[in-house]
Amino acid sequence: MVQFTDLPTDVVDTILTSLPDFRTLSAAIKVSKVYTYAVFNSHRQTILTSVALNLVGPSLPHALKVVHCRDQPDEIINLKHDESMEASKAFLTSLTYRQRRFVEKSSSAVQKLEDVFSQIYKDRRSPTSVLTNAESLRLRTALYRIWLFCIFIEQWNNDDDDGDENEDDDGNENPWARWNANWDAVVAWLAEYDTPDLLDVVAVAPFLQEVLRRIMNSDPENVGAVYGQCSSVHSSEDGVPQSYLPTEFPMQSNPIHNPGLVYDLLRDQRRWKELIEGSEVSAAMFKIALEKVCVAKNLNAETTLAVAPLRFINEVHGADDKCFNCDEVRGMDLYGPPNWHFLGGVMSATPITQNLPGLLLRSPIEISVISNNFFNRDDFDWGAFTVEIFDFEMPVPEEVVWDKEQWYCQTCITKLFTTRFPWWWMARPKSEHAPAKENCWYGWNCRTQLHRPGHALKLNHFCEPTRDDGKSPEQAWAQVQDSDA
């Protein structure tokens, strides 16, 4: 049997240059610490460059600049915009193990963000990127460049603690000297980019903010707390809420986070509070820096700041597609099996439970049972939930014929959830959402459940009334309000 060490050196070299990442390369070298390492060492720069290109692709020079400036943030301003492959080759040979690991992580982050970007803005049917090579390179380049901006601002914030450099000649603290110097430096750095490249950096910011907004809104404890409900951000002319696709520079209060952190949030969304604390870059600072760059480059600031993520897309797939139910053209604002997982970022439990019968919607106990045992669960899956709602057989006739293989706008799919949820919830095994309880005589019309927690906890009120006091739910609620007054 031919051993690996019996292979010609040019074959070993070809094998090493075809490996997908640095970890695999390291494992391959360890096959023979003498023979394989000797081949690697004799072609170190070529092999490292090939593996890095396999991993990162043509945006490699921009990725390596992020790696370099992450360890030496002061170099960002001094580093000229030399993004040639030759400069990258020289830097690759000096990468430490930790830096190589960061190259791998940053590549995974940018790839994942490209997949999300593609499904939000180009083709909602594909969970993986369908961007063209040119679109992909522009997007990835912009992501790495705004990453550099975030690194610089983070370093800027850290410099605020350096008291010695913030003092004037009399020993008095003079923070404005450092502030102005930083502004001049970041403006000069950004101004070195050609106008199209600068506009790409501007256009990628709303995308990062949109991903973060969806992550935060998918947390039941935070729905609407920071970014507001989806319907308050973007609505069509007739007021129908749609998912937020930024068409202008977002609100200044929305922070920008570096792509690596956004990637971490996508992998572990429940940790968003812990991960983003103190790491945000003020969008207002980004906007001010860009306005200064516009003056330096003689650009129209209003037009420059209005560029949107769609700038990266040459053609949107399905832009004229219609909702299967209402027949309205919604394009990328449609939801089907491939993108049901996006629903958690644009919806909440509130509209889904608004059609609960009787007084249940006003009962804090019943609502908490639903929230704590369903929507607030760490393992809650919007995709699986949507499948169950579509598959549920309603015990009463419906006006709409629903097909889970079709595409629906947010308004119509909310209507589906609102209509079917109460019936679906009652049909679920009791053990799944609460211990078995004796039914209250007055069921969901019971007024006592609203002001006596003990009664609400003891009996089940998610049931039809077997006794009736002759009052409608509206009359009963009015009586409760009068008694509380």
CA within 13 Å, CB half, 396: 6
Q: Angle of helix 44-56 relative to helix 9-17, nearest 10 degrees?
A: 30
Domain's final residue, options 312, 339, 363: 312
Classify 265 as helix, strand or coil: helix
Residues 158 and 243 reside in one and the same domain: yes
Cα-atom radius of gyration of the chain, to the nearest Å?
28
Residues 303 and 241 reside in one and the same domain: yes
Q: How is residue 459 written in tokens?
A: 């009996």
Domain's final residue, options 249, 284, 312: 312
* Burial of 170 (C-beta count, 10 Å sphere; 0-12/13-18/19+): exposed
Residues 337 and 306 reside in one and the same domain: no
Q: Is pTM, for the whole model, over 0.85? A: no
- Residue 279 makes CB contacts below 8 A (sequence gap 6+) with 154, 257, 258, 261
Residues 351 and 277 reside in one and the same domain: no
Instruction: Note whether residue 66 is domain-resident.
Output: no
Low-confidence ranges of the chain (pLDDT < 50): 163-166, 168, 222-253, 431, 470, 477, 480-481, 483-485
Classify 228 as helix, strand or coil: coil
Q: For residues 80 and 161, is the Cβ–Cβ distance under 8 A?
A: no
- Residue 35 makes CB contacts below 8 A (sequence gap 6+) with 4, 5, 12
Instruction: Note whether residue 87 is domain-resident.
Output: no
Instruction: Note whether residue 7 is domain-resident.
Output: no
Q: Which amino acid is at 116?
A: V
Residues 239 and 362 reside in one and the same domain: no
Residues 369 and 274 reside in one and the same domain: no
Predicted pLDDT at 344: 79
Residues 298 and 200 reside in one and the same domain: yes
Instruction: Note whether residue 409 is domain-resident.
Output: yes
Residues 267 and 373 reside in one and the same domain: no
Domain's final residue, options 312, 342, 361: 312
Predicted pLDDT at 323: 96
Residues 156 and 292 reside in one and the same domain: yes
Predicted pLDDT at 276: 55
Q: Let me know how long the chain is.
A: 485
Rounded CA separation 171/379 (Å):
57
Residues 307 and 206 reside in one and the same domain: yes
Residues 195 and 308 reside in one and the same domain: yes
Of 218, 236, 207, 223, the closest CA to residue 333 belongs to 236
Instruction: Note whether residue 229 is domain-resident.
Output: yes
Predicted pLDDT at 313: 94
Predicted pLDDT at 326: 95
Residues 291 and 261 reside in one and the same domain: yes
Rounded CA separation 307/430 (Å):
51
Instruction: Note whether residue 90 is domain-resident.
Output: no
Predicted pLDDT at 92: 82
Q: How many domains does the chain have?
A: 2
Predicted pLDDT at 135: 96
Classify 450 as helix, strand or coil: helix
Instruction: Note whether residue 199 is domain-resident.
Output: yes
Q: For residues 173 and 111, is the Cβ–Cβ distance under 8 A?
A: no
Rounded CA separation 414/419 (Å):
8
Which domain covers residue 289, as residue numbers? 104-115+126-162+175-312
Instruction: Note whether residue 421 is domain-resident.
Output: yes
